[in-house]
Amino acid sequence: MSFPPKYLARIIAVVSLSSLLAACGNDGNSNGSSSVAGAANSSASSSLIKVNQLGFLPESSKLAVVPDVPATSFKLLKAGTAIEVFSGTLSAAKVWDASRESVKVADFSSVKTPGDYQLHVDGLANSHVFSIAPDVYNALNAASIKAFYFNRSGVELLPEFAGKFARPLGHADTQVLIHPSAASDARPSGTVVSSPKGWYDAGDYNKYIVNSGISTYTLLAAYEHFPEIFNNQNLTIPESGNALPDLLDETLWNLEWMLTMQDPNDGGVYHKLTNENFDGTIMPHEALRERYLVQKTTAATLDFAAVMATASRVFAPYETQLPGLSAKMRKAAESAWEWANIHPAIVYKQPSDVRTGEYGDKTLSDEFAWAAAELYITTRVDGYYTALKPVDVFNSVPSWGNVNGLAWVSLAHHRAQLTNVADQTLIASRIKTLADNLLSTWYASPYKVSMEKHDFVWGSNSGALNQAMMLVQAYRLNGKRDYLDAAQAQLDYVLGRNATDTSFVTGFGEKSTLHPHHRPSEADGIPEPIPGFIAGGPQPGQQDKADCKAVYPSSVAAKSYLDNYCSYASNEIAINWNAPLVYVSAAIAALTPK
Ligand code: G3I
Ligand code: 9MR
């Protein structure tokens, strides 16, 4: 049998996609296929069928977005063939103001037979190849966690765990200096302290408590909510095979660092461990600048308290393996909470000699609420619930600077174990109100997503996934199928059903992010990026324009994405963007009916 060249390319892609899935399922070390779809410019991407390039579970809702062509129907074909397995009617065209495109939707949810497929619409190129398979997100979930291992500070990545991405130890951080902004009587400026381990924040090599807070919590929540997904998962990390699930081992790497960021003399927590300036495009072991602990802040201290309270309950069952750890974390959370109550408004102020990420945040009521909620759940002390001021705390899609939602996520999950002081009706209604807002956007959305134009800010892909996380909470509370389908839509969005026709996860999908702003991926001399990282995503700010010789293909919100290393404003990776990918890929796998 002979195939036209277009189909041959698709067949090659299917083979490499399948081998990627198989390999990542075993060791998570493999790297994905490179793009076979060719570079798309803005207008080219508008004339393409957009679909989740990885694919769907048999029982998932399955949608694709189709440009506004005269055709009124679509076909689902066996990949690489003209064999039709399903045909359906396209929806009426609508304009999405976020991408300024007129699009129709193809719904093929009723197709449940595992296999590799492509969509066909007369007048358009066939879609990327995607799968329907019961394990379609297993390798994605594993790789999205393994990405944290690849971003570990303070350890050599050995070939047996990192494969071709092995690298020498970088940033031991056993001798860092107290910065003048953090000086105290007990630890004057220039005091040497040890603060090893942890994950690099993003494409840079600094470590920031505020962003570590939401990231670490999201991984712990994934474990608390869906332990069955992680209990037997093998990520091929150094700790694999010990008594802890690999996800918890990986999370512990960062928790151990976070513990060192608390001043033992008063309970306050340093905002960040950082260089004065961002490093150049070099490998971790080549980055040898002096490192500092900078200013204790209320936000960092409260985020720390929330995470340590959460970790204390998650690690409690491992007393034999990790004696005293759970109690130590609880004490750390309590002393951080006390410090924050004595210093309720210390906002981060970037010292004049420091130029790295700020994670500055002037609104601290949400950090107070989140820390209080986690301390309440862990200690069952009613005073923390009262301190949370639940009636005044609304629910919102979480981000590093807005953590109200995390309090409601935890309260909802633990609702059956709360003391009488907790208002169960309020908890349920907070979850439902937010999810219903997202749902009504999803119902009306031309792209069938809950993203709107104003959601396209720096790290927009994490916004998409955090919306999904909040939809998932409502589904877990009342089982209404639309919440799950709307969450699935957000996963579809980051995996290719978006206006750039890109799967934003490195190594996953026929046309995936290839050049993330990630120093190791750029400096390691290996053509492809380290797999499992999600790029920040489109946003019209283009704050990196002056640093980019390459030109953005579009300035329209949902299309303002540049797959180039220079683009830290649209193509960086970050731990708080990967964490909801871990959560959502696990949630969809766990919750979708089998
Ligand atoms: O919240 C406002 C919103 O109200 C407004 O409408 C919108 C318009 O642009 O801006 C929003 O603020 C943005 C803010 O992120 C919150 O999303 C700012 O414009 C934007 O500049 C800011 O970007 C942050 C960026 O650092 C620059 O400070 C990102 O959130 C944050 O994720 C990113 O974090 C960096 C670290 O500093 C360093 N390490 C890498 C990491 C990822 O790029
Ligand atoms: O690489 C840095 C990235 O991690 C940050 O998110 C970003 C925003 O603060 O800054 C990047 O560093 C750039 C710096 O801000 C300006 N000069 C060029 C740097 C990247 O090459």
Pair of tokens at residue 84: 């039709």
What is the C-alpha end-to-end distance of the chain, expressed in Å?
36
**Averaged pLDDT, 94-117:** 98
Query: 25 pLDDT band (50/70/90 cuts)?
Result: very low
Ligand 1 center to 201 CA (angstroms): 14
pLDDT in tens, 483-537: 999 999 999 999 999 999 999 999 999 999 999 999 999 999 999 999 999 999 9
Annotated catalytic residue within 204, 279, 334, 452 = 204
101 is catalytic: no
CATH-assigned architecture of domain 54-132: Sandwich (2.60)
**Averaged pLDDT, 4-16:** 35
For residue 458 and ligand 1, the question of a CB distance below 6 A is answered with yes
Query: Which ligand neighbours the alpha carbon of 398 most closely?
Result: 1
For residue 300 and ligand 2, the question of a CB distance below 6 A is answered with no
Ligand 1 center to 400 CA (angstroms): 9
Ligand 1 center to 357 CA (angstroms): 10
Pair of tokens at residue 438: 């997202």
For residue 180 and ligand 1, the question of a CB distance below 6 A is answered with no
Annotated catalytic residue within 367, 492, 501, 563 = 563
Query: What is the DSSP secondary structure assignment for residue 422, as one 8-state letter?
Result: S
Atom 17 of ligand 2, residue of closest alpha carbon: 547
What is the spatial distance between Cα 532 and Cα 142, in angstroms, rounded to a whole number? 8
pLDDT at 44: 76
370 to 217, 270, 374, 402, 507: CA distances (angstroms): 11, 19, 6, 10, 35
Annotated catalytic residue within 120, 171, 225, 517 = 517
pLDDT at 43: 64
Query: Which ligand neighbours the alpha carbon of 279 most closely?
Result: 2
For residue 357 and ligand 1, the question of a CB distance below 6 A is answered with yes
Atom 16 of ligand 2, residue of closest alpha carbon: 547
**Averaged pLDDT, 76-88:** 98
Ligand 1 center to 253 CA (angstroms): 26
Which of 271, 458, 461, 519 best tests ligand 1's pocket when mutated (most atoms within 8 Å of CB)?
458
DSSP string, 360-403: --S--HHHHHHHHHHHHHHH--HHHHHHH-GGG------BTTB-
492 is catalytic: no
User: Angle CA(286)–CA(210)–CA(449) in degrees, nearest 5?
Assistant: 100
For the chain, the average pLDDT equals 93
For residue 572 and ligand 2, the question of a CB distance below 6 A is answered with yes
Query: What is the DSSP secondary structure assignment for residue 207, as one 8-state letter?
Result: E
pLDDT in tens, 113-166: 999 999 999 999 999 999 999 999 999 999 999 999 999 999 999 999 999 999
For residue 204 and ligand 1, the question of a CB distance below 6 A is answered with yes
CA nearest neighbour of 305 among 232, 397, 384: 384
517 is catalytic: yes
Ligand 2 center to 278 CA (angstroms): 6
What is the spatial distance between Cα 321 and Cα 335, in angstroms, rounded to a whole number? 25
**Averaged pLDDT, 32-49:** 54
What is the spatial distance between Cα 230 and Cα 223, in angstroms, rounded to a whole number? 7
For residue 44 and ligand 1, the question of a CB distance below 6 A is answered with no
For residue 201 and ligand 2, the question of a CB distance below 6 A is answered with no
Atom 6 of ligand 2, residue of closest alpha carbon: 568
Torsion angle defined by CA atoms of residues 372, 375, 377 and 382, in that order, rounded to the nearest 10 degrees: -70
Burial class from Cβ neighbours inside 10 Å (0-12, 13-18, 19+) for residue 256 reads middle
Ligand 1 center to 227 CA (angstroms): 32
pLDDT at 385: 98
What is the spatial distance between Cα 270 and Cα 261, in angstroms, rounded to a whole number? 6
For residue 572 and ligand 1, the question of a CB distance below 6 A is answered with yes
Residue 293: strand pairing partners: 178, 273
Radius of gyration of the chain (CA): 23
27 is catalytic: no
Pair of tokens at residue 359: 């994670």
Pair of tokens at residue 281: 């495009």
Query: What is the DSSP secondary structure assignment for residue 21, as one 8-state letter?
Result: H
Residue 435 CA, chain-centre distance (Å), reads 19
Query: Which ligand neighbours the alpha carbon of 567 most closely?
Result: 2
Residues 6+ apart with CB under 8 A from 591: 472, 475, 476, 484
Is residue 149 within 8 A of residue 250, CB to CB? The reply is yes
What is the spatial distance between Cα 84 and Cα 3, in angstroms, rounded to a whole number? 16
pLDDT at 45: 84
Ligand 2 center to 568 CA (angstroms): 6
Q: Is the pLDDT of residue 17 over 60?
A: no
Atom 14 of ligand 2, residue of closest alpha carbon: 278
Which of 204, 350, 355, 457 best tests ligand 1's pocket when mutated (most atoms within 8 Å of CB)?
457
> Which helix (DSSP H) or strand (DSSP E) does residue 25 occupy?
helix 5-27
Atom 4 of ligand 2, residue of closest alpha carbon: 204
Is residue 536 within 8 A of residue 77, CB to CB? The reply is no
pLDDT at 280: 97
Torsion angle defined by CA atoms of residues 365, 369, 370 and 372, in that order, rounded to the nearest 10 degrees: 130
For residue 244 and ligand 1, the question of a CB distance below 6 A is answered with no
Ligand 1 center to 226 CA (angstroms): 30
Question: Could you tell me which residue, 554 or 39, shows the higher pLDDT?
Answer: 554
Pair of tokens at residue 31: 């790297």
DSSP string, 475-517: HHHH--HHHHHHHHHHHHHHTT-STT--B-BTTSSSSB--S-B
Buried (b) or exposed (e) across 138-155, using 16+ Cβ within 10 A? Answer: bbbbbbbbbbbbbbbbbb
Residues 6+ apart with CB under 8 A from 436: 474
Residue 56: strand pairing partners: 132
Q: How many CB atoms lie within 10 A of CB 520?
A: 23
Judging by DSSP bridges, how do beta strands 270-274 and 207-208 pair with one another? antiparallel
Residue 426 DSSP SS3 = helix
| % of residues, the chain, pLDDT over 90 | 92
pLDDT in tens, 411-464: 999 999 999 999 999 999 999 999 999 999 999 999 999 999 999 999 999 999
Judging by DSSP bridges, how do beta strands 130-132 and 55-56 pair with one another? parallel
pLDDT in tens, 170-207: 999 999 999 999 999 999 999 999 999 999 999 999 99
What is the spatial distance between Cα 18 and Cα 380, in angstroms, rounded to a whole number? 48
Annotate 225-236 with three-state secondary structure: HCHHHHCCCCCC
Residue 322 CA, chain-centre distance (Å), reads 28
21 to 16, 199, 212, 364, 451: CA distances (angstroms): 9, 25, 29, 42, 28
Annotate 210-263 with three-state secondary structure: HHHHHHHHHHHHHHHHCHHHHCCCCCCCCCCCCCCCHHHHHHHHHHHHHHHCEC
Is residue 581 within 8 A of residue 495, CB to CB? The reply is no
pLDDT in tens, 312-367: 999 999 999 999 999 999 999 999 999 999 999 999 999 999 999 999 999 999 99
Query: Which ligand neighbours the alpha carbon of 576 most closely?
Result: 1
Q: Hey, what amino acid is at 166?
A: A
Query: What is the DSSP secondary structure assignment for residue 180, as one 8-state letter?
Result: G
Residues 6+ apart with CB under 8 A from 317: none
Question: Could you tell me which residue, 37 or 197, shows the higher pLDDT?
Answer: 197
